[in-house]
Amino acid sequence: MKRRVVSGMRPTGQLHLGHLVGALGKWVELQAKYDCMYFVADWHALTSEYADTSQLEGYAYDNVADWIAAGIDPDQTTLFVQSLVPEHAELYLLLQMVVPIPWLERVPTYKEQIEQLAERDLSSIGFLGYPLLQGADVAIYGADYVPVGDDQVPHLELTREVIRRFHQFFGELFPEPQPLLTSMPRLPGLDNRKMSKSYGNTIDLADDDETVRKKVMRMYTDPKRVRADIPGTVEGNPVFIYHDIFNSDTSQVDEFKERYRAGTVGDVEVKEALAKAINHRLEPIRERRAELVGDSKRIREILLDGSAKARMCAQETMARVREAVGVRYA
């Protein structure tokens, strides 16, 4: 029997290249080896996006189209919607009974997110409990592994601590999930800040050829290089970080780096080649995506079928949990 992997994404906007080389790329890689369950984390989206939920459902369908277009196989992998499996919320509630509040307050990303999203009121129980809900998401399916980046390791360690504490009171019920660290590089945004839709510095998977080209042409490069004949810095330069990832012509990349350091190539030539490489990578994804977006009924059916399958598993888990906790009256 395959070991199980569980992971989710918040439907808060269109997916971009950072997702493709990060979490989504890892998901595609894992599905051949593991029993994978990937979900639309719509309740998680509400923890910070509760003020405007008008696009939540649309983003959910759009994101899942991107998942499948990028290589996720719904016949091989269970795709579902978090809120269509209400048992997540029940387990989340029961975990709250035994988890001290300081455990949640010490999660590094909690304070970081409050500072980064200072314009929003995140002083809610929902936002504080975000990592605990993540724990319920994976525990309810008996996940063996969770794919995470370095910044998410504290969240998973909290999940493991919560499971151990729950077991102290109610006995062994869940495996302790192990991290599957993503080895994919973290892409900087077009302006060299963290890639984020809120900064407007992303290249989206849905962008057409010309949009990609325009975005690449305004990418941040070496700020000291005001003319093409001035030697430039390659290391840490977003344009070359992208070339290393998306340009399969390594000899061309090496040549560009050499000429850039020597001051014998302009940014325009380097960026034109990069735009071409990115579009080449995105072309088959765009084609598959267009077919899926044009058949929203198929996406809906995939999610409803996957959610029904996920819920059967969750219900079996919660039957055991209720009995262990002492709240099973049937």
CATH number of the domain within which 99 lies: 3.40.50.620
Q: Residue 194 falls within a domain, yes or no?
A: no
Same domain, residue pair 302 and 280? no
The model's pTM: 0.94
Same domain, residue pair 81 and 220? no
Same domain, residue pair 161 and 90? yes
Contact 120, 48 (CB under 8 A): yes
Same domain, residue pair 211 and 142? no
Same domain, residue pair 64 and 153? yes
93 token code pair: 């509630």
Q: Give buried/exposed letters for 218-240 (b at 16+ CB in 10 A, else e).
A: ebebbeebeebeeebebeebbbb
Same domain, residue pair 274 and 309? no
Question: What is the domain range of residue 126?
Answer: 4-187+296-325
Which CATH number covers residue 247? 1.10.240.10
Q: Residue 49 falls within a domain, yes or no?
A: yes
Q: Residue 115 falls within a domain, yes or no?
A: yes
Same domain, residue pair 137 and 256? no
Q: Residue 198 falls within a domain, yes or no?
A: no
State the amino acid at position 303 in one-letter form: L
Q: Residue 141 falls within a domain, yes or no?
A: yes
Which pLDDT value is given to residue 151?
78
Q: What is the pLDDT of residues 78-104, one digit of tens each?
A: 999 999 999 999 999 999 999 999 999
Same domain, residue pair 214 and 268? yes
Same domain, residue pair 276 and 306? no
Same domain, residue pair 71 and 140? yes
Q: Residue 200 falls within a domain, yes or no?
A: no
Same domain, residue pair 183 and 274? no
Q: Residue 195 falls within a domain, yes or no?
A: no
Q: What is the pLDDT of residues 128-187, one digit of tens each?
A: 999 999 999 999 999 999 999 887 888 899 999 999 999 999 999 999 999 998 776 678
Which pLDDT value is given to residue 68?
98
Q: Residue 276 falls within a domain, yes or no?
A: yes
Contact 133, 45 (CB under 8 A): no
Which pLDDT value is given to residue 185?
64
Same domain, residue pair 301 and 158? yes
> How many separate domains does the chain show?
2
Low-confidence ranges of the chain (pLDDT < 50): none
